Amino acid sequence: MVQFVAKLVTSMILVMKMIVIISEYKVGVVNGVSMNYYAVSCPMAQFVVENTVNRALQADPTLAAALVRMHFHDCFVEGCDGSVLIDSTKDNTAEKDSPANLSLRGYEIIDNAKEELEAHCPGVVSCADILAMAARDAVIFAGGPVYDIPKGRKDGRRSKIEDTINLPSPSLNASELIRMFAQHGFSAQELVALSGAHTLGVARCSSFKSRLGPADPNLDSNFAKTLLKTCSAGDDSEQPFDATRNDFDNVYYNALIRKNGVLTSDQTLYASPRTRGTVSAYALNQAMFFFDFQQAIIKMGLLDLKQGSQGEVRHSCRAIN
């Protein structure tokens, strides 16, 4: 009976939080963005992006992880301004050619959506918005929380390889991650929620092989053998973050409890007392994880937005106008 009451109270709290979030984002324009930003200027924007994403993911479900990761890599460098989409030129090496971004995939999905939108409503829908909507649609496609995002971001005019130093390394510990995320206004709890995006996708051996030398007390010995076997195929060989690489669920957190985290930056979340409780809570309660994740990713999608003359709507997502 006590457990039932506790679960009921938790559910009621989540519902109340949801009502607050919905009311916050329906009040209209915040920082130049709003839920209905394209309602008049390009009413089919969301439909076009969703259809483009769903077609691509039906053909290759692994691209869901790629789109969510691309959105994160965009927002943590110069804000959510589509700068990660820009191609390098002879005079400039762009973000996408940074070692941290060389494994990004899915650019063609953004290009396809942009091309169709330019045919319907030229010069209206920004590449930054397309990427943010695509990441949202990828989460939903993979079975994650259903949520909407404010729109109205402008595209940035800067994309430089040196700016990617702001991306978190897979070797960071919890204290370093907490400090880095705090610089963007995120709490330790929000860090753990956003890290749950690793419920999708894979890591390359080059990003975790450093854990396979001297015995790592935070790495299960049998799982270490699995990782060694993966790395026997070379640095580019891939290891899924959890057992359900294409499903958005809480299996990732349960893996951390078993010391089956692939990256140092994953397993440290359970090893550290500052974040362990949140990992345990999400491992037990997927609904709580889903709610906190959607809250955190909506917040992330509003980082350092370009407004007015600070930005533009690109004609092509790969080049500044």
Same domain, 54 and 76: yes
Domain contains 293: yes
Which run of H or of E encompasses 111?
A: helix 107-120
What percentage of the chain has pLDDT greater than the value 90? 87
198, 213, 235, 256 alpha-carbon torsion, rounded to 10°: -10
Q: Which of 147, 167, 187 is the last residue of a domain?
A: 167
Cβ neighbours, 10 Å, residue 98 = 21
Cα–Cα distance, 116 to 49 (Å, whole number) = 9
Confidence of residue 257 (pLDDT cuts 50, 70, 90): very high
Cα–Cα distance, 64 to 57 (Å, whole number) = 7
Same domain, 180 and 283: yes
Domain count, the chain: 2
pLDDT tens digits for range 109-161: 999 999 999 999 999 999 999 999 999 999 999 999 999 999 999 999 999 99
The confidence score (pLDDT) of residue 32 equals 85
Domain contains 29: no
Domain contains 150: yes
Same domain, 197 and 221: yes
Q: Which of 126, 142, 167 is the last residue of a domain?
A: 167
Confidence of residue 30 (pLDDT cuts 50, 70, 90): low
Domain contains 180: yes
Same domain, 106 and 188: no
Which phi-psi region, left, alpha or beta, contains residue 182 (left: φ > 0; alpha: ψ -120 to 50)?
alpha
The confidence score (pLDDT) of residue 8 equals 47
Same domain, 229 and 213: yes
Same domain, 156 and 61: yes
Domain contains 36: no
Same domain, 94 and 204: no
Annotated binding site for heme b: 198
Q: Which of 167, 201, 223 is the last residue of a domain?
A: 167
The sign of the torsion formed by the CA atoms of 184, 186, 192, 198 equals negative
Domain contains 314: no
Residue 188: what are its φ and ψ, rounded to 5°? Answer: -60, -40
Domain contains 34: no
Same domain, 147 and 104: yes
- Which residue spans within the chain are E strands per DSSP? 202-204, 238-240
Q: What angle do CA 182, 133, 115 make, to 5 degrees?
A: 130
Annotated binding site for Ca(2+): 74, 77, 79, 81, 83, 95, 199, 242, 244, 249
Same domain, 282 and 178: yes
Same domain, 196 and 285: yes
Same domain, 134 and 211: no
The sign of the torsion formed by the CA atoms of 258, 262, 266, 269 equals positive
CATH of the domain at 215: 1.10.420.10
Q: How far is CA 71 from CA 64, 138, 248, 273, in A?
A: 11, 11, 16, 29
- The catalytic site residues sit at 73
Domain contains 25: no
CATH of the domain at 61: 1.10.520.10
Same domain, 52 and 105: yes
pLDDT tens digits for range 176-235: 999 999 999 999 999 999 999 999 999 999 999 999 988 789 999 999 999 999 999 999
* Cβ–Cβ under 8 Å, residues 78 and 154: no
Does the pLDDT of residue 13 top 70, yes or no? no
Residue 253 class from Cβ within 10 Å (0-12 exposed, 13-18 middle, 19+ buried)?
A: buried
Domain, as residue range, for 126: 44-167
Annotated binding site: 74, 77, 79, 81, 83, 95, 168, 198-199, 242, 244, 249
